[in-house]
Structure 1
Amino acid sequence: MSELVINVKGLRKTFKKIKKLEGFLSSVRSLWNREVELIDGINGIDLQVKKGEIRGLIGPNGAGKSTTIKIMSGILHPSEGTVNVLGFTPWKDRERFVRNLGVLFGQKSQLWWDLPPIDTFSLNKEMYKIPDDEYKRRLDSFLDMLQIRDVIHQPVRTLSLGERMKCELVCALLHHPPLIFLDEPTIGLDIVSKETVRQFIKQMNRELGTTFIITTHDLADLENLCDQVTIINKGTIVFDESMDKLSTFFSNSKIIDVKFAQPIDPSLFSAYTVVSSAPLSVQIEVDLTAKDIKVWIYEILEQFPVVDINITNIPIEDVIRHIYES
């Protein structure tokens, strides 16, 4: 069995929220007698991540993703549960723990706004006590892979979003941590920059065995990077399987895409679950527990002037949306 990098059991985090009362007198009264409401940010999470995984951690806004990552990185203390990350309890031995951790949070930059990135890289070299020859070798490699050698001597405020994000990645990986948390690493990037960042992550995972935990709303990140995906909703884990399992989550449903030789009256599709339609085409979702796929196809061919027909799985974004909503 592969070594566990993260082992979380029974994790809970409860936040206190002061109830806001309406009216002036109620507001004055609350200065002395406040009503406190307890809110569960996360509620009984169990999570195991093996060494060398690229794990997607996703969920709707407010689901508990950020709270979970902040606890695993030692920023927050849990209300209940045990957390073992790289052999550490993150909030108890924080100084030694963070030397083995890399983080990239979209809302928190490691770069100094008015200084060039190379200055931040040099500062990280000293903080993490990286030997001179190792620092030069790693930096040269990263600059070439991310194609940012020409920008690291410019002030950060003059860089594009893509250039800044690539420099943030260098900061996160320069000390070769075995575990890295990436929060929305490709958000706002153009297609070329996204692909460069994804290839960089995959290469670091392949060559160094680095474990990545990635939070993202970009399904292409999941499909291109992640071996496993964990979905958190309302503070609990609702899905924790491989990407292949996620793709076949609705294995009893298929989408039949039909093209016609002539326009068809939409009312003729009333007996079907229509996903989308146009005068010369329609997408129908079919239930394979009700009828075999062959029966569905024969039925459609007999009723309509079909010129082309295609069968696909339920789109992964629809699967995830269904999991969120349920």
Structure 2
Amino acid sequence: MNIIETERLTKTYRRFKKPEGLSGSIKSLWKREYEEKAAVRDFDFTLQEGEFIGLIGPNGAGKTTLTKMLTGIIAPTSGRIHVMGFYPNDLKNEFKRQYAVVMGQKSQLFFELTANDTLRLFKEIYELDEKQFRETRAYFTELFHVRELMDMQVRTLSLGERMKMELMVALLHNPRILFLDEPSIGLDAIASNQIRRFLKQVNRERGTSIILTSHYMEDIATLCDRSVVIHHGCKVYDGRTDALFARYQKNKKITATFSQELPPAQGPAAENPAPLPGQAGGQSPRQLPCWEVLERTPHKLTVLVPKEEAGAALAAIMPWGPTDISVEEDEIGTVVERIYQEGAKGVAL
């Protein structure tokens, strides 16, 4: 069942252009120039009940504008939009009670109140009965492991602790859809992993549909089975996250350590083509132009190879008897940069 449907959804802004200086300001009193900027263009999108999807795009791509239209904050210029059977910009109370928004850079908490008092305040806003409130609070207190923090002022909490409280407040009324905009921004690795684990559990156990916008692609890769890439307001990809990343994972980084010293390189070890280990038995190292040496010490070798050459690279290194060997894919940030570059060139992903 689709709970969000859009068809040719478009949002265009009209912006005033003023010439520089005082004379330009005076001239603009009589004659003004405007330009139109399409923040979102002809956007077709669906979300099924219980889905957890990632919304990917560089700054200015239109992600926030799309989220604002889906939540009714702004009205579209044209196109069709239905969210849970409502036209969002009508802002009916029945609609607003069924979604929640969490923004990593904007807080909805009251910093002078304790976490418990803040939850009590939102209980009244959403008109929850006492039994439902207590059950939901107990569930999330246990899930987030924050029982000892509930009577602390919000302003005394760490950034990671406050984000847990933000999620508790957002999920208190059991929304059908949760919109997350950079929820892990500024968090350390431990807090980010905790937030990811909690979100996955909420999606699985409570059936909450989640739309996640994040520049931390580890969030997207870990949480979202489906991803939508938006660039210059247009959708350039909508499909499985693993397929998207697999398409743009072009290299493998192989790191091997050795108990015995490697033979000296024939020429500068950092150049490409680079001399690398060959077969055992004292044979000369062989040249493989597709390998790029990232690091070479007497007991360690790190090379970057095209993913289709990873097997050959391992076969060449193994006869030297490495004590440890690891194979890593391209960093997620590198992959996303490639995605954005193709989107900027108008290449359909």
| TM-score bucket of the superposed structures, by smaller chain | 0.7 to 0.9
Partners of 1:263 and 1:49 in 2: how far apart?
Answer: 58
Q: Secondary structure at the match of 2:88?
A: coil
Q: Report the alpha carbon displacement of residue 250 of structure 1 after superposing the two structures with TM.
A: 3.7
Structure 1 or 2, whichever has the larger Rg, is: 2
The question of 1:267 aligning with 2:271 is answered yes
Please say if residues 255 and 313 of structure 1, whose CA atoms lie closer than 8 Å, have aligned partners that are also in contact.
yes
Q: Secondary structure at the match of 2:202?
A: helix
Root-mean-square deviation over aligned CA pairs: 2.6
Q: TM-score, normalised by structure 2?
A: 0.82
Gaps of 5+ in 1: none
**Residue of structure 1 equivalent to 2:304:** 284
**Residue of structure 2 equivalent to 1:243:** 241
**Count of residue pairs the alignment pairs up:** 317
Q: Report the alpha carbon displacement of residue 31 of structure 1 after superposing the two structures with TM.
A: 2.7
Please say if residues 16 and 38 of structure 1, whose CA atoms lie closer than 8 Å, have aligned partners that are also in contact.
yes
Identity %: 36
Q: Deviations over 1:223-266 (max 9, x none)?
A: 22111111111111122111221232147x44262658235323
Residue identity in the other structure for 1:103 = V
Q: Secondary structure at the match of 2:271?
A: helix
The counterpart of 1:227, out of the listed 217, 225, 228, is 225
Q: Report the alpha carbon displacement of residue 297 of structure 1 after superposing the two structures with TM.
A: 4.3
Q: Deviations over 1:50-94 (max 9, x none)?
A: 111111112111111111101101001111111111111111243
Please say if residues 238 and 323 of structure 1, whose CA atoms lie closer than 8 Å, have aligned partners that are also in contact.
no
- Evaluate the alpha carbon distance shift between residue 39 and residue 121 of structure 1 in structure 2; reply closer, same or farther with a 3 A threshold: same
The question of 1:319 aligning with 2:335 is answered yes
- Evaluate the alpha carbon distance shift between residue 208 and residue 287 of structure 1 in structure 2; reply closer, same or farther with a 3 A threshold: closer
Please say if residues 252 and 310 of structure 2, whose CA atoms lie closer than 8 Å, have aligned partners that are also in contact.
no
Please say if residues 272 and 292 of structure 2, whose CA atoms lie closer than 8 Å, have aligned partners that are also in contact.
no
Residue identity in the other structure for 1:185 = P
Q: Report the alpha carbon displacement of residue 150 of structure 1 after superposing the two structures with TM.
A: 2.1
Partners of 1:293 and 1:198 in 2: how far apart?
Answer: 31
Please say if residues 253 and 304 of structure 2, whose CA atoms lie closer than 8 Å, have aligned partners that are also in contact.
yes
Residue identity in the other structure for 1:269 = P
Q: TM-score, normalised by structure 1?
A: 0.87
Q: Deviations over 1:18-53 (max 9, x none)?
A: 113123211221133221111111122111111111
The question of 1:143 aligning with 2:149 is answered no
The counterpart of 2:184, out of the listed 179, 183, 186, is 186
**Residue of structure 1 equivalent to 2:115:** 117
Q: Deviations over 1:198-231 (max 9, x none)?
A: 2221121111111011111222212221111111
- Evaluate the alpha carbon distance shift between residue 262 and residue 95 of structure 1 in structure 2; reply closer, same or farther with a 3 A threshold: farther
Residue identity in the other structure for 1:226 = C
Q: Secondary structure at the match of 1:276?
A: strand
Query: What does 1:1-326 correspond to in 2, within 5 Å?
Result: 3-250=1-248, 253-255=250-252, 257=254, 259=256, 261-264=262-265, 265=268, 266-269=270-273, 271-272=289-290, 274=292, 276-279=294-297, 281-286=301-306, 288=308, 297=313, 301=316, 313-326=329-342
Q: Secondary structure at the match of 2:340?
A: helix
